[in-house]
């Protein structure tokens, strides 16, 4: 495990970081793709060549309609035509729900978060956030799909532990130690997924981490600039960010900096537990990654089913 700790970021440091990693205007004033612009046609062709076994693995956590402390606002699902006495010619059902939350796998649009009214690419929240949906930066812009190289960095495995404790942060040193241990390097246009063993932590301890109170292991602010420098197209994993003592950034620097400043695409809470197990079995930490949001205009995000292909 790395010996040196991360830099302590003040609020002024976070403000400077916000400006330093900004992609405003980088891909044009009307760009809604954000860091997906790093995924070039050449990158997609190279990613397709990673497929050797033809084996697919879903990275989506199953949607549950059961309300629990970890799933306070579950999606709704019921049958529309389900009478056995007078059966319909077809089985029909209804599904609906809010895609954001820690209970299921979802994608955040580039306008999902703002910082003090500043939305990605220089837009103002008051212009973008409207009663009928987003006027800019919705997940609809990503409907053509994300198809690129995926890389898993197994932080828990590199540290030699089953899971990280809630007060432990994932630093740049952790990311680079995992790269070295696994013999892989995160490159421009990649999807970066992290495994810290969060579900293992829940099962072993019976405790439920809370990102808003600091009881959740996650990325420390120093990693945001690393993601920017490496030109990561999409970030996700069983950890998002570590609660940070900054009122202006709502204690969530990754959401309040990386999304509105960088336009970073976030995949919240994919199932990396099964992915980590399979990568370890294959001794292989790169794969083809593909997913797409539902094609709903003006949406702030989407339920998704990411797929790793080996």
Residue 130 to residue 175: CA distance in whole angstroms = 38
* Averaged confidence pLDDT in the chain: 90
Give the whole-angstrom CA distance, residue 105 versus residue 302.
9
Instruction: Count CA atoms within 13 Å of residue 18 on its CB side.
Output: 23
Average pLDDT over residues 94-123: 90
pTM given for the model: 0.92
Q: Is residue 273, in this structure, part of any structural domain at all?
A: yes
Domain membership of residue 188 (yes or no) is yes
pLDDT at 2: 43
Q: Is pLDDT at 254 greater than 50 in this prediction?
A: yes
In angstroms, the Cα distances linking 104 to 87, 112, 140, 248, 278 are 32, 17, 19, 27, 21
Residue that wins the pLDDT comparison between 5 and 146? 146
pLDDT (average), residues 285-295: 96
Quick check: is 74 in a domain?
Answer: no
Contacts of 88 (CB under 8 A, 6+ apart): 81
Is a pLDDT exceeding 70 seen at residue 171?
Answer: yes
Q: Does 211 score more than 70 pLDDT?
A: no
Give CB contacts under 8 A, 24+ apart, made by 184-188.
184/151, 184/153, 184/285, 184/286, 186/151, 186/153, 186/230, 186/232, 187/149, 187/230, 187/231, 188/38, 188/43, 188/230, 188/231, 188/233
Is 97 contained in some domain?
A: no
Percentage of residues of the chain with pLDDT beyond 70: 93
Structural domain of residue 144, as residue ranges? Answer: 11-61+105-309
Q: Which two tokens stand for residue 249?
A: 């950034």
Q: Has residue 70 been placed in a domain?
A: no
Question: Residues 61-93: pLDDT tens digits?
Answer: 888 888 877 778 888 888 887 666 666 677 788
CA distances in angstroms from 275 to 193, 240, 287, 302, 309, listed in the order given? 10, 17, 10, 21, 10
The count of domains in the chain is: 1
- pLDDT recorded at residue 1: 43
92 part of a folded domain: no
Q: Is residue 159 part of a domain?
A: yes
As a whole number of angstroms, the distance between CA 141 and CA 190 comes to 19
The CATH number covering residue 231 comes to: 3.50.30
Spatial distance between the Cα atoms of 51 and 70, rounded to a whole number of angstroms: 35
Distance (Å, whole) CA 57 – CA 62? 13
pLDDT reading at 289 higher than 70: yes
Element (H, E) at 220: none
Does residue 84 form part of some domain? Answer: no
Whether the predicted pLDDT of 44 surpasses 80 = yes
Contact 297, 135 (CB under 8 A): no
Radius of gyration of the chain (CA): 19
Q: If pLDDT is split at 50, 70 and 90, which confidence band does 3 have?
A: very low
Q: Is the distance from CB of 299 to CB of 140 less than 8 angstroms?
A: yes
């Amino acid at each position: 495990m790395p010996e040196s700790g991360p830099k302590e970021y003040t609020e002024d440091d976070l403000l400077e970081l916000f400006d330093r990693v900004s992609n405003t205007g980088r891909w044009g004033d009307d760009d809604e793709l954000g860091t997906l612009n790093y995924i070039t046609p050449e990158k997609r062709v190279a990613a397709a060549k990673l497929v050797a076994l033809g084996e697919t693995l879903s990275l989506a956590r199953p949607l549950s309609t059961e309300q629990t402390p970890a799933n306070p606002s579950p999606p709704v699902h019921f049958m529309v035509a389900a009478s056995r006495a007078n059966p319909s010619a077809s089985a029909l059902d209804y599904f609906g729900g809010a895609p954001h939350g820690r209970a299921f796998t979802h994608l955040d649009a580039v306008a999902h978060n703002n910082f003090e009214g500043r939305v990605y690419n220089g837009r103002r929240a008051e212009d973008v956030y409207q009663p009928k949906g987003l006027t800019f930066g919705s997940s609809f812009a990503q409907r053509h799909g994300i198809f690129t190289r995926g890389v898993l960095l197994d932080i828990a495995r590199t540290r030699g532990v089953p899971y990280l404790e809630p007060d432990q942060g994932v630093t740049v040193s952790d990311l680079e130690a995992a790269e070295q241990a696994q013999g892989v390097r995160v490159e421009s246009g990649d999807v970066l997924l992290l495994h810290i063993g969060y579900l293992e932590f829940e099962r072993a301890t019976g405790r439920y981490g809370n990102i808003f109170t600091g009881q959740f292991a996650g990325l420390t602010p120093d990693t945001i600039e690393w993601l920017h420098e490496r030109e990561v197209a999409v970030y996700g994993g069983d950890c998002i960010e570590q609660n940070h003592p900054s009122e202006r950034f709502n204690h969530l620097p990754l959401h309040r900096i990386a999304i509105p400043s960088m336009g970073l695409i976030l995949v919240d809470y994919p199932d990396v537990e099964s992915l980590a197990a399979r990568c370890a079995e294959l001794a292989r930490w790169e794969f083809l990654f593909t997913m797409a949001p539902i094609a709903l205009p003006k949406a702030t995000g989407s339920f998704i089913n990411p797929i790793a292909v080996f």
